[in-house]
Amino acid sequence: MCPEEELPNTYAASAIAPTPGWGDAIARPLLTHSPLGRLVRWVAGIPVSVHAKLLGAFLLVTLLFIAMGAVTLQTITTMSRQSRLLDQGHERVDWSRQIQHALAMQSHFTALALLLRDEATIASILRENNQFNNTLARIGEAAPLEEQELIQRILAAQNEALITVADIANLVRDNKLDDARTLHLSKQEPLYLQIEGFVNQVVSIEQDRMNRLRLSVAAENRRALVLTAGFVGSSILLALLLGFVISWSFILPVREAHGFLGKVAEGNFTTTITVPNRDEFGVLANRMNQMSRELQRLYERERAAAKELQALNDRLERATKAKSEFLANMSHELRTPMNAILGFVEMILDEVYGEIPAHLKEPLTDVQTNGKHLLRLINDVLDLSKIEAGRMELSLGDYSVQDIVETVRASLQSLAAEKGLGFVAAVEDDIPLGFGDGKRITQCLMNLAGNALKFTRQGRVEISVGLEGETLTYRVKDTGIGIPKDQLENVFGEFRQVDAAITREFGGSGLGLSITKKFVEMHGGRIWVDSELGKGSTFFFSIPLRVETGEGT
Amino acid sequence: MSKTILYVEDNEFNRKIVRDLLARTSYRLIEATDGEQGVATALKEMPDLILMDIQLPKLSGLEATRRLRTDPKTANIPIITVTSFAMSGDDQKAKEAGASAYLAKPYSPRELLQMIRKFAPED
């Protein structure tokens, strides 16, 4: 973890490119031409985890919404209080009108009492008076100071008016109507006019208050609306901004990584990724750089190894070519002296140079036998080398299976006779002409039969050939020493004989079976062996009667 | 009149084998050590049989055989090619060049004598 490492800022506009959409069309100019880009990089550079950043952003947005809710709640509370005040204002204006009415009724009933002179009307005056007083008391309950004073005055005048009413009522009962009328006109009417003036003042004050209240409520409503709208708008903007910044501070390194991995996948290991993030993305980018460095290192090492291998291969190829040329030359150089040695020995033994002493016959025959053996070894080694160098080609043509078997039988008959072994060769008469390299097939059968005679001390060796469909199967059965089970797989390998002691006793280059196997395979056939230790072995090889001529001769 | 045999071979020991082999016969042996000399000698001496080694200096045995076959004077002289390449296809090449027979080295002197007698019977 090393977010402390200063990461250079390289969010290029190209980093926004991998999956362009309409969102990118908006984001690209914002990131490149506005302070938002810087803000995104700043957020990316905050050395806290992605988890903490996301949590912080969500908490901030949540807090904003909580605050917005609180503001709205407060606005609603204010508005409901104001509407209550407004209701109260209305009520007070109503009450003011009621006392105006009650006053008018008092005056009216007083005048009526003077006319009718009945108790009921007088009682009505008292009722209206009570009504007036009750309503006035209600207004007075929550009245401002200036109004209180006015109300006291109204109350005083009203009490006086009530006393006057009582006096007028008594005068009316006593039938002193003139006095009553005089009292009504001189005292009660001016009192009522005075009271009415006060009441009108109260009404006007209440209406003023009402108007003021209305205005303030309207202002308050406007204020609440602006505040709420402002709060909502700024909350949305802030949430959008936070979302944009946070998400792009994550999207950009992801895009950067996308581009980086794309290049790495294409095999460009020298590429690096640089992000301003000091969170998990920063750590990830460092890891990716580490990865590409490691890949580059491995790639270079592998390239160096491949180069080395190529050089080695070239050297090997040159060496192989040199070896092939050497072998072609050696083939000539070895056979020329062998020809002379074997030729001279044969002529000596044929007494071309005159009669030879009896005691020299055996050593001269030994020279000849060993010379021939040496020649066989040379031939085997050269054959195998040519096969391995890919220079061995089959010389294809028609051949007679009967002739091949006869050649092998004739060549080995004397050897079998010397060892006192039974030696028979059986071929079906009706096998048609084969197509292949007759000389090489002869060599194969010769190798197998020669081996069989070599490894058999007593008993017999049988050669047989059978045709089944289009497949010829050659079989050489002996009653020799056999091959241990665990060695069966190895007998066709190069330089393989079951053990060194056998090589000493029976001789041989150990190449015969290997060469035979290769010739059989060149004919498109296969070779195998059944054997039982101490009882004998049977070697088989089967090849197509007529080999494919696809590759020519 | 004994028959004349031309042996074209660059190796002295191999020439000596044939020389010794034919010494007790009635054949007359003449020798050449390279292809060019072989062709020249053949044209000059008109032998009854030519033994031609394939690997020769200056001119290969195959080429020498081809030239002798195209010259009407020597076109009918039997030519036995001898090679140290037991490589498959050499017999084919020798036949194509116009050789009458093919003998692979190392050959048995006995077999060689038999082959000589077959193509040029002793008088």
pLDDT tens, residue by residue, A375-398? 888 887 777 777 777 777 787 888
Model-level pTM?
0.50
Q: How confident is the model at residue A4 (pLDDT cuts 50, 70, 90)?
A: very low
Q: How confident is the model at residue A7 (pLDDT cuts 50, 70, 90)?
A: very low
Compute chain B's Rg from CA coordinates.
13
Question: Which residue in B87, B95, B113, B114 has the most chain A C-beta atoms within 10 A of its own C-beta, making it the best mutation to test that interface?
Answer: B87
What integer best gives the mean pLDDT of chain A? 83
**What would the mean pLDDT of B14-30 be, rounded to a whole number?**
92
Reduce the secondary structure of A253-266 to three states and give it as a string. HHHHHHHHHHHHHC
CB contact under 8 A, B89 and A335: no
Burial of A289 per CB tally in 10 Å (0-12, 13-18, 19+)? middle
CB contact under 8 A, A394 and B14: no
> Which secondary-structure segment (H or E) carries A537?
strand A536-544
**What would the mean pLDDT of A508-523 be, rounded to a whole number?**
82
CB contact under 8 A, A395 and B11: no
Question: What are the residue ranges of helices labelled H in B24-89?
Answer: 35-45, 61-70
What would the two tokens of residue A524 be?
A: 């498109």
Asked if B114 is an interface residue toward chain A (Cβ–Cβ < 8 A), one would say no
**What would the mean pLDDT of A49-71 be, rounded to a whole number?**
87
- Chains A, B: CB contacts under 8 A, how many? 72
Can you give the pLDDT at residue A13? 42
When divided into structural domains, chain B yields a total of: 1
The HSE-up count of residue B45 (CA atoms within 13 Å, CB side) is 20
What would the two tokens of residue B14 be?
A: 């191999």
What would the two tokens of residue A341 be?
A: 């040695």
| Residues of chain A neighbouring B16 (CB-CB closer than 8 A) | 340
Can you give the pLDDT at residue A301? 93
Burial of A378 per CB tally in 10 Å (0-12, 13-18, 19+)? middle
Can you give the pLDDT at residue A321? 77
Helix (H, G, I), strand (E, B) or coil at A405: helix
Q: How far is CA B49 from CA B21, B25, B97, B118, in A?
A: 15, 15, 16, 11
Q: How confident is the model at residue A476 (pLDDT cuts 50, 70, 90)?
A: very high
CA dihedral A226, A229, A232, A238 (to 10 degrees): -70
pLDDT at A9 over 50: no
User: Quick check: A296 and B45 in contact, CB under 8 A?
Assistant: no
Q: Torsions phi, psi of B117, nearest 5?
A: -65, -30
What is the spatial distance between Cα A271 and Cα A275, in angstroms, rounded to a whole number?
13
**What would the mean pLDDT of A98-110 be, rounded to a whole number?**
84
User: Quick check: A105 and A128 in contact, CB under 8 A?
Assistant: yes
Q: Cα angle vertex A40, ends A36, A46, to 5°?
A: 140
**What would the mean pLDDT of B23-29 be, rounded to a whole number?**
91
Of the candidates A237, A296, A242, A231, the one whose C-alpha atom is nearest the C-alpha of residue A267 is A296
pLDDT tens string B54-94 = 888 888 888 999 999 998 888 889 999 987 665 556 677 77
Can you give the pLDDT at residue B37? 92
> Which secondary-structure segment (H or E) carries A271?
none
Domain span at residue B87? 4-119
Q: How confident is the model at residue B15 (pLDDT cuts 50, 70, 90)?
A: very high
Compute chain A's Rg from CA coordinates.
66
Q: Cα angle vertex A522, ends A520, A526, to 5°?
A: 35
**What would the mean pLDDT of A57-72 be, rounded to a whole number?**
86
What would the two tokens of residue A354 be?
A: 């005159």
Helix (H, G, I), strand (E, B) or coil at A222: helix
Can you give the pLDDT at residue A287? 92
Lowest mean pLDDT among A99-103, A294-298, A329-333: A329-333
Q: What is the CATH number of the domain that holds B26?
A: 3.40.50.2300
What integer best gives the mean pLDDT of chain B? 87
User: Quick check: A479 and A534 in contact, CB under 8 A?
Assistant: no
SS3 content of chain A, % helix, strand, coil (to 5): 70, 10, 20
What is the spatial distance between Cα A215 and Cα B29, in angstroms, rounded to a whole number?
153
What is the spatial distance between Cα B49 and Cα B74, in angstroms, rounded to a whole number?
10
Chain B nearest-CA distance from A377, in A, is 14
**What would the mean pLDDT of A432-448 be, rounded to a whole number?**
89
Chain B nearest-CA distance from A353, in A, is 8
User: Quick check: A342 and A375 in contact, CB under 8 A?
Assistant: yes
Lowest mean pLDDT among A218-222, A498-502, B50-54, B104-108: A498-502
At A78, the amino acid letter reads T
Share of chain A above pLDDT 90, in %: 14
Report the DSSP beta bridge partners of residue B52.
B8, B81
pLDDT at A370 over 80: yes
What is the spatial distance between Cα A172 and Cα A166, in angstroms, rounded to a whole number?
10
Closest in B21, B84, B88 to A335, CB measured: B84
Can you give the pLDDT at residue A14? 45
Can you give the pLDDT at residue A16? 45
User: Quick check: A113 and A122 in contact, CB under 8 A?
Assistant: yes
What would the two tokens of residue A317 be?
A: 């190829």
CB contact under 8 A, A440 and B109: no
Closest in A339, A350, A440 to B107, CB measured: A339
Q: How confident is the model at residue A288 (pLDDT cuts 50, 70, 90)?
A: very high
> What is the residue-wise DSSP string for A248-310?
HHHHHHHHHHHHHHHHHHTT-TT--------SHHHHHHHHHHHHHHHHHHHHHHHHHHHHHHH
Burial of A381 per CB tally in 10 Å (0-12, 13-18, 19+)? middle
**What would the mean pLDDT of A314-341 be, rounded to a whole number?**
81
Can you give the pLDDT at residue A33? 82
State the CB neighbour count (10 A cutoff) for residue A544: 16
Quote the longest CA-to-CA distance of chain B.
39
Highest mean pLDDT: which range of A159-168, A380-389, A506-515: A159-168
Report the DSSP beta bridge partners of residue A466.
A473
Q: How far is CA A502 from CA A509, A510, A542, in A?
A: 12, 11, 28
A497-505 own/partner pairs: CB under 8 Å, 24+ apart: A502/A455
CB contact under 8 A, A553 and B89: yes
Asked if B57 is an interface residue toward chain A (Cβ–Cβ < 8 A), one would say no
Can you give the pLDDT at residue A290? 92
